[in-house]
Structure 1
């Protein structure tokens, strides 16, 4: 199932009313272009990197422009809360998951994000149970076709980030992670959409830890997204269409009228978990929730972005090009991650809605496949 992760009631009580937190101080030809779409260059690089490590380019965060409403004292307070949870993680996940979920929605402090992501996706346990496996993969030769494709794509990822500039150690680590996964899962091999995902992980943790998080994302969170058929992604495109119809019927009709294929914009949103589409502070906040709650977060954020971009502007979008341009305009704007998350959680979608749409679309795809076989 595409989103079988811890159950939530995302449409209700999304602030979690955490009493102790209240004490805080105030056909896919398109896929070949994902790895290089809007590819950064090293021209115009600034001298000082931003707080995320970018020297310039579309992901650079201007230190003079900050939408953060969280003061340093609150951040320190939240760090302590996360450290307390790490000490008894299984209890928190099994008995107090709503509290964990609420803290992920508020944003994981950067000082503990690496460890939190590993715990949330289960990579920490898998790593402990597989000592030396990553190094073993790296000693193997691998499929020459996959390795050659990976080597070409490594230089295209985040070249304006301090880790991935020419000669940066991040490029070697990225090659290692992608090569290891292509050997770990030969049926999937390598997809260009995977490189940006691995890059985000490496910005936050060492290569071996990043590898096991990457395995969790590809195999557990987004199964069937990166294999040659892309069946998991295509199914989620169908599910998304049904949820868009339920939450924004006017936008759904507009998309239908102009014959816009959902995958034309969902490629970068879902396959790359927004890391090629949004400002970096938004990306990290979405990943905090995604690794806690699963792919439902991607559905909710996508539906919220559609409303934010096209709600009240459909008359200005007279064709497919102007509609997609409006989406692109939103993505390049100054977006507040708190607003995106709040809007995504306000959507009137329940766990039952996700389950119902999943089963409906899965039955339809199976029926279509069976008919084609005859």
Structure 2
């Protein structure tokens, strides 16, 4: 009964989110219409293109240099005709000038981890303007339209989660864009998506990160209590290298405090992860850097839908883009309401995981729901220095040893460049994330000698490194191998064989027609599932779909992996019954062409109560 209620709750949650997304798109279109009308009247009043060269004459929200470029182009090729009142009108004046940079062009990611937050005025409970410590959280703002929230601070002013991490997208909007006047907006204020794009300068690449100490009363909007701004020049940062920043708080009520201890401070660790320039590289890429034009599951879909086209009109992805923005705000509110995800009701957390985690919070959420936070401090970049567990902390087995890692080193080296050869961070031995991938895989082989290294772990570790730093990626990989998918990647593969037997049993009960049809054509369903299970769908499904499966995988483990596999067959029942060409060995009997679906449909089917019951019985959980 509770499972059916969870499904109904999720359906209502999705319908509400879609309605809010449509309302947001309508609001954006209305704002764009008002802005265009204002520009129309301003240009009709002036009718002088040269006036655009003056910053004072630039319409609000547009960059002066963009208007200068437009004025130059117009003066070179004037197109004039007589207007109704006899004045000479330049027809191109009536259209908004072209921007010198693509709106929202992705430059890379900034991985940011909160290290320490000390409250202003020093004394516990003594937060500015009378707010209690229990409702204080940190808001990080990058440009006017992108904010992320931390967990709320515990009673002693620290994070129970051990330091929260975010993956912040950096685009042309972020560089050189002043966020100081916008970051003090409350957490319930809609993000402004109608601002103009900033033009990217080659050097420097100035970025302002505004950190705000917010308090959320029982009723009403969150209020900013203190703030500080980190000025970062991305051009001066060494890519994929950590950099520590610290700054005291400045309070709105008393911006100057002589005692630094009483002022409080915030310290963060940042890591700049640039992406190749599409104009130079010539390859359009999705949100995480995989090519959109290449063939294969990972590149078959753009993970970053845009809310509108360059001319301001709504695109087919407008609703999807609005849903992504709403999802981020929903998770922001959720994280700011608790000191850790463990405080939330299990049904609430499961419904949110089922609806998907935004990229900005994925690494942190995966770490929390998997229970991997305690492992993170054990990681060391040197595989022979991985902290060893004491005998009291482990099950009876061989302790980690360097020899185990050395045995796997040769196989790991061969697989490094086979992982994601189409991705700029993994394509050559000099690529940015290849050394990190080597360290994570070797450290895992040393730490779990019973597992060592198994092909398929390189794909999992590679995707983890795109979302997390090395210690978190290693902790999640160890948790996956040692707890969530235990026995899958060991030499005996006992866990994998158990799961494959459960897969056959569940298919026979859930879709007997499909299983019978595949058996008649001698399709080795069990053998094909080996790669699917070992790499957790990363090399099988489109990347956005696989990541949605992962959002729940780190919470439910192999049960979710089994249900998602069966759900793929359920959703493709009719095409599978119609298909008779199962001899395409390159595409696993043609199944890879058929077993493709939207993430919402897959996750909904994978969490149907009947399928959950059948999978639990097959795995021996009931």
TM-score normalised per structure 2: 0.48
Which residue does 2:603 correspond to in 1? Answer: 341
Moved more, 186-195 or 53-62: 53-62
Moved more, 71-80 or 217-226: 71-80
Change (3 A) 1:344 1:350: closer
Which residue does 1:134 correspond to in 2? Answer: 380
Q: Deviations over 1:201-223 (max 9, x none)?
A: 11100111100000011111111
| Structure with the higher fraction of residues in helix conformation | 1
Query: Does 2:395 match 1:146?
Result: no
Indicate if the aligned counterparts of 1:310 and 1:327 stay in contact, CA closer than 8 A. no
Runs of 4+ in 1 over 6 A off after TM superposition: 18-23
Query: Does 2:521 match 1:258?
Result: yes
| Structure with the higher fraction of residues in strand conformation | 2
Cα offset for 1:179? 0.2
Cα offset for 1:307? 2.4
Change (3 A) 1:195 1:68: farther
List alignment gaps of at least 5 residues for structure 2: 22-280, 306-315, 387-401
Which residue does 1:78 correspond to in 2? Answer: 330
Q: Distance in 2 between matches of 1:303 and 1:214?
A: 24
TM-score normalised per structure 1: 0.78
Query: Does 2:340 match 1:88?
Result: yes
Indicate if the aligned counterparts of 1:120 and 1:291 stay in contact, CA closer than 8 A. yes
Q: Distance in 2 between matches of 1:10 and 1:264?
A: 32
Q: Distance in 2 between matches of 1:20 and 1:279?
A: 24
Cα offset for 1:267? 1.8
**Aligned-CA RMSD value:** 3.1
Change (3 A) 1:156 1:187: same
Cα offset for 1:83? 1.9
Q: Structure 2 residue aligned with 1:14, among 7, 12, 17?
A: 7
Q: Distance in 2 between matches of 1:262 and 1:49?
A: 33
Cα offset for 1:354? 3.3
Q: Which has the larger radius of gyration?
A: 2
Change (3 A) 1:257 1:12: farther
Which residue does 1:50 correspond to in 2? Answer: 286
Which residue does 2:591 correspond to in 1? Answer: 327
Query: Does 2:368 match 1:119?
Result: yes
Q: Distance in 2 between matches of 1:86 and 1:147?
A: 42
SS in 2 for 1:123: coil
Aligned residues: 327
Which residue does 2:472 correspond to in 1? Answer: 209
List alignment gaps of at least 5 residues for structure 1: 1-7, 27-44, 362-374
Q: Write the mapping of 1:355-366 to structure 2, written as runs, cut at 5 A.
A: 355-359=616-620
Q: Higher RCO, 1 or 2 (CA under 8 Å, sep at least 6)?
A: 1
Change (3 A) 1:76 1:111: same
Which residue does 2:504 correspond to in 1? Answer: 241
Change (3 A) 1:132 1:123: closer
Q: Deviations over 1:273-332 (max 9, x none)?
A: 10000111101111001112222221221112112334354243265659954412125x
